[in-house]
Structure 1
């Protein structure tokens, strides 16, 4: 066999395998996600899809949407349909220790846990199956002495992919809930005054906490840092006594197991000696890890709110810092305490990482309270943001406010419930709740605040499988939903419905070497999976037969081009055409010679056959519905939409156009072009404003020729105007605006149009626009008076200006007169008419 023949055979085999998996599609729809699914597990992993196992279901897609099956389609018998439902079954639903209102959860059930056990992770495992009621709304009894604050406790859930399912979950804060408080203190020298203050406040701390809960225990531990350079001085003298009042340094020491003996706590704190180190950060992470994981040493109770108070005035070392001291072994997150309570691996293991601390705190349901001084509060706030259930409080320099700080932080923690989960990335979990607002809307949140003892909070937990993991072992998962800091949880045993039972050996629809597949394949869920060298819908073909049928003339269309097999859109396999698959799952090629398809028809407005509501494409021709016609199904068969409503003439398109595909095409005349939905508009022609004018006048304003109430009611029955403040015509809705003056010289405006039901609608202005009346004599008299007054004002102004001018001239004259150098009473150039002479020798005699 030459290379060309071998290549062709491989191509034929590949297409044959694809064709064997592909079923004949159901009626074409552009929104069906099921048609492309060729196997049962692919089908049920698609929302709203079901699979048909019927061996005789040959002519339709086996994966279908039950909600869209029509009477024309071949329906799968119900006994062959694989359409699994989401199933929830409650395994444990113990009564809450205390309910907020009687009867709220009276529909719940209890599971007998006499044979059950409670493990250290906070989850129940029970074998009992007997159930009883919640107790008629009364305070629920504690199950076996256990306090129950979360219900239900365990459920089994079977879910399909991408189908969300909601679960009701209840939380209440039990009365007098136990509290374990372990005080972890930095005992470097800088904290010596804090230690003295704490030893004096021990009784007060216990008294304060017992006011919050009578079931209270207190413990104590301390830390310094790793006893290696460069964290502490390893010189002999400094190692034994870092300072005058210091003892030898150590990593972490557990001093007192949780107890209700407050006097012992004060004594332990007082007897604990301070130590010293070299660098500023402390080894607090080692201490936190040991305090959390050494449960038996510390004395943490199974059911209690666990508080770890971490008190320091310095920052912290974390993973990687140990390399400075030559410590490269990672922290293993296990308990390493000696009988004396010392951390034995302090100098051999690195500091734990922040993530290790977070995981340990989550696993052991512990609330960490960082009581730190102002100088370090910012860095601890960043740390708290990465540790679940932790908080930060400001500690005074001498720890004098430690009691109030712990009380405040405890009240803040206990008054808040925050739900968390450990689901994998394949599962989405969302929380919805009304918190304490019973009448409010559900809010997408996992946190509620301001909770008091006895309050009942309902959470709706929405679980959705986003995808099926490739590893089949991950199809079953155990998910824990828990309130932060409380050792209780809702356990969900989740089974993802990713496979069909008929795909597993032993099922009646699973048969190897099946006669249905010509003994050349395995019959699985109604279809054949062929063995190597066999292919076809029922494995009826083999590679040998394919090589003999390469030139089979039965694949050539009689009325088509000679020699063209399967219309060049398929392969001739075993004497039959197997059409090529399209990239678009909604497109297909079919027919005995692959001569037909469902995508080559005419388009209108970008839609094949004008869209599925108008018709569908069948073998290159649009098959229209009853209401539509045309080669692209774009034309309406009826002309009813071309008649203008409320007209008496009944002319098609108002007599000014033709009806095409249910739409009026308006004429163009010498006077102008007609327009409008019914060709009723013309720039030079009258519209129907005058027709509705009288009725608008009488109905809205009681004016006009029909203002008489009887005449108005008799003649105006086509419409009732809708009053509006301002009339605006919307041309897109074919609204026509009309305006007229009435007998009172007032203008009134209205618009008319036809709604979607071709019913006449009129909107009219509420109030007419009337011009105010003008009294002409008053205007004339006013004008004359204004002219007279204006003239008088001008004369008075002229007189005033003249007087001012004269006075100025007279004043200037007076001024010049006073400044004259000659006497105004005698003329200096005047000469007498006679001259007198005197004889000097005359003596007067004679």
Structure 2
């Protein structure tokens, strides 16, 4: 049989861990709170707004809190029949779940399809062949489409939402161009590149529509010159300025695009920023543009300048805010340009988000940073760098379109009372779920992305009308949504149909959900109490100053006095002015209240004599922490503390002490060093411990004298210790624990000390020896030199006697006269080959020479 590899085992463990995490996360949060949280809730709606709590609306239910936690093993609601328990569960129902589309539908004709208020198709539909209208097939890229969810407060539920981009999904592209004079060459290039743009986009989707619009700025000072001739011709090639003009609606007749761009004329203005925001607003909201219901919508905004926004209109005396509506005349011009201010960035973002439009800002390098910041505030917007003459506009649009279509990002419109979280592994089906609402890297068609959506009601809105909300989750730039009809379970049905002035409420209150809602002036569990003043002055008598709950949540305030509730167990009682005390909630030990060694009084154990601790489980005496034969007050062998009559041994860097009295330390070194000083002071009266110090510090043992301590039994734990003190004396001792766990130390009777040494005598002896040795060396040297001199003198005398040279001539045979040799270079033989070399050697006696010199 094959043994699984370590990598395979780790992979399986990781998969199991991930699955366990997901399963746990999907379990409703019903069993996370302690039961006392539920018992503090006094009304049904407060009870069910607390996770895991249930409400009992039985009219005869008494002596127990009506709000309880049924998941606990302790059942305070055992007296509540099941038919009177209200514990609503989360319910998720699928209303509409159409299959995701593989391909898109092609709209016939040039008519537009717009969304109506109900989300259905409306608008003009052209007829196909034979005069039969061609109705576009519905494209489904989001599944499911509608859910109904009943959800309790502070609880969550999960479901799966899928997105898949259909093949040949319709595409609407509206090109909005700045036609100020600086964009003249850009317009010419766009006119030339129009056909290329159409062909390129149709390679991405066969259902493609194209439209065109232009803008300049508001025709008022200081944006444009108001001189008559400047209003007609701001420049030589310019036409009259305008705010926004719609030239061509979205159409399948895309070959008309180049014609319309070529017909459009540039204009001029004075300041650098342009009125592009007016144009964007009209291009987004006006139905004349022809945006289709089911199509990816692209708004390409091309300019080389910055923009005016809300507030700038005051410079031209325009103070009326932009209303975000369509104001387009029959000629396609924006009619409110000089009457309404520019829209704000948030207005632009809201309109684009509502229409599910992706804005592409194609701007020059000089303004790229401005529009990148703008794109951060507009949902689904992107930015591309436009060449100075717009020569790269086709590539820019294709690049941005692919970037937009390869990413899916989910947005929702839930209120602050609802939390939505998205989890997905994107295109990795075996990957770990990540907390993200965006996945990228999708191909144009075919890829399916699943999102786990977690929805939670954080709190119940105060207005009951807000308990019903419609939440939309949609991919950015796609006009398809998942609609969630959310019903927050914040109220109890029995609270809506209460019985007014019910006899159960002393005819002074409304009976609902088993409790009384008293009329003004009445209070009490059954509205039996009345007061002519403020009821709070009476109920305050039932509230402990240390809390804010009436009768500590364990009783009922009856006419200003707490009536404590009875317990099912008659031996258990709740007492106190504010029902703050009881005799059953004290600490337990081994399941016994106060360890059966005390009495539970007001939640605290009062221990019997001889016992202590919060649960009376500890003995008061410490005698059990030391052997009966141990001397002094040292507990646990000095290596632990006595807690509840039991030794808790210390853990040191060297090891851990064990044993009933912490007398052992298997992992420690020996205790020789610990016992050494006590052995010295007790046995030999030496060492650092003197007098009383020895008696107070050495209480663990009294050494037993032994002539020669040896280890007799190593299995008994006997340890032999060897030491040498500062006097050079050696001593041995052994220690062990006898059968009664009493420490026994056997010490050597007498120390082994070296003999006494007379240091002064040794020093004097050494000095004398050094002196004597020095004198002996001097005498020996004198003797040797005398003998050597006598020998040399005797040799001299002998040689003198043996001398035999000629004394007559007076010459010493040992002496040799000095000689000099000279060569005559004249007679070297050069120039006369027949001549023989002649060397003349002259020997001159230096003594004769000296004699002759002296004579001369």
CA positional deviation for 1:623: 7.1
Q: Name which structure has the greater RCO, CA cutoff 8 Å, separation 6+.
A: 1
- For 2:580, the equivalent position in structure 1 comes to 597
Extract unaligned runs of 5+ from structure 2: 1-32, 105-112, 122-133, 543-550, 566-571, 626-635, 670-716, 721-843
Is the alpha carbon distance of 1:122 and 1:356 closer, same or farther for their aligned partners in structure 2, counting shifts above 3 Å? farther
Check whether the contact 1:180–1:258 (CA below 8 A) recurs between aligned residues: yes
Which residues of 2 match residues 468-487 of structure 1 at below 5 A? 468-487=460-479
Which residue of the other structure, out of 301, 308, 332, is the alignment partner of 2:299?
A: 308
Q: Report SS of the residue matched to 2:92.
A: strand
Q: Report SS of the residue matched to 2:39.
A: coil
CA positional deviation for 1:68: 1.2
- For 2:587, the equivalent position in structure 1 comes to 609
- For 1:37, the equivalent position in structure 2 comes to 41
Normalising by structure 2, we get a TM-score of: 0.62
Does 1:224 find its partner at 2:219?
no
Aligned partners of 1:304, 1:192: CA distance in 2, in Å? Answer: 32
Aligned partners of 2:76, 2:590: CA distance in 1, in Å? Answer: 16
Does 1:359 find its partner at 2:350?
yes
Which residue of the other structure, out of 184, 187, 201, is the alignment partner of 1:192?
A: 184
Which residues of 2 match residues 13-32 of structure 1 at below 5 A? 32=36
Aligned partners of 2:119, 2:344: CA distance in 1, in Å? Answer: 27
- For 1:432, the equivalent position in structure 2 comes to 423
CA positional deviation for 1:74: 3.5
- For 1:382, the equivalent position in structure 2 comes to 373
Q: Report SS of the residue matched to 1:66.
A: coil
Q: Deviations over 1:674-709 (max 9, x none)?
A: 983543643xx684999xxxxxxxxxxxxxxxxxxx
Is the alpha carbon distance of 1:621 and 1:172 closer, same or farther for their aligned partners in structure 2, counting shifts above 3 Å? closer
Which residue of the other structure, out of 510, 514, 523, is the alignment partner of 1:522?
A: 510
Aligned partners of 1:467, 1:385: CA distance in 2, in Å? Answer: 31
Which residue of the other structure, out of 321, 330, 353, is the alignment partner of 2:312?
A: 321
Is the alpha carbon distance of 1:599 and 1:307 closer, same or farther for their aligned partners in structure 2, counting shifts above 3 Å? farther
Q: Report SS of the residue matched to 1:32.
A: helix
Q: Report SS of the residue matched to 2:37.
A: coil
Check whether the contact 2:68–2:76 (CA below 8 A) recurs between aligned residues: no
Which residue of the other structure, out of 300, 314, 333, is the alignment partner of 1:342?
A: 333
Aligned partners of 2:96, 2:512: CA distance in 1, in Å? Answer: 38
- For 1:254, the equivalent position in structure 2 comes to 246
- For 2:457, the equivalent position in structure 1 comes to 465
Check whether the contact 1:123–1:488 (CA below 8 A) recurs between aligned residues: no
Aligned partners of 2:618, 2:581: CA distance in 1, in Å? Answer: 22
- For 2:59, the equivalent position in structure 1 comes to 55
Aligned partners of 2:391, 2:248: CA distance in 1, in Å? Answer: 22
Which residues of 2 match residues 474-553 of structure 1 at below 5 A? 474-505=466-497, 510-543=498-531
Aligned partners of 1:390, 1:432: CA distance in 2, in Å? Answer: 24
Is the alpha carbon distance of 1:614 and 1:359 closer, same or farther for their aligned partners in structure 2, counting shifts above 3 Å? farther
Check whether the contact 2:658–2:665 (CA below 8 A) recurs between aligned residues: no
Does 1:578 find its partner at 2:582?
no
- For 1:393, the equivalent position in structure 2 comes to 384
- For 1:563, the equivalent position in structure 2 comes to none
Aligned partners of 1:231, 1:580: CA distance in 2, in Å? Answer: 81
- For 2:795, the equivalent position in structure 1 comes to none
- For 2:401, the equivalent position in structure 1 comes to 410
Which residues of 2 match residues 611-760 of structure 1 at below 5 A? 619-622=601-604, 632-633=614-615, 635=617, 661=644, 663-664=646-647, 676-679=657-660, 681-682=662-663, 687=666
CA positional deviation for 1:538: 1.2
Which segment is superposed worse, 342-351 or 519-528? 519-528
Q: Deviations over 1:169-200 (max 9, x none)?
A: 11100000000000000000000000000001
- For 1:733, the equivalent position in structure 2 comes to none
Aligned partners of 1:399, 1:389: CA distance in 2, in Å? Answer: 23
Check whether the contact 1:614–1:633 (CA below 8 A) recurs between aligned residues: no
CA positional deviation for 1:542: 2.3
Is the alpha carbon distance of 1:41 and 1:619 closer, same or farther for their aligned partners in structure 2, counting shifts above 3 Å? farther
Is the alpha carbon distance of 1:63 and 1:686 closer, same or farther for their aligned partners in structure 2, counting shifts above 3 Å? closer
Does 1:333 find its partner at 2:311?
no
Q: What RMSD, in angstroms, separates the aligned Cα atoms of the two structures?
A: 4.4
Which residue of the other structure, out of 412, 417, 436, is the alignment partner of 1:445?
A: 436
Aligned partners of 1:620, 1:384: CA distance in 2, in Å? Answer: 66
Check whether the contact 1:183–1:219 (CA below 8 A) recurs between aligned residues: yes
Is the alpha carbon distance of 1:680 and 1:512 closer, same or farther for their aligned partners in structure 2, counting shifts above 3 Å? same
Which residue of the other structure, out of 157, 171, 177, is the alignment partner of 2:169?
A: 177
Aligned partners of 2:349, 2:534: CA distance in 1, in Å? Answer: 64
Which residue of the other structure, out of 140, 164, 171, is the alignment partner of 1:148?
A: 140
Check whether the contact 1:159–1:494 (CA below 8 A) recurs between aligned residues: yes
Check whether the contact 2:114–2:293 (CA below 8 A) recurs between aligned residues: no
CA positional deviation for 1:530: 1.5
Check whether the contact 1:93–1:151 (CA below 8 A) recurs between aligned residues: yes
Is the alpha carbon distance of 1:828 and 1:287 closer, same or farther for their aligned partners in structure 2, counting shifts above 3 Å? farther
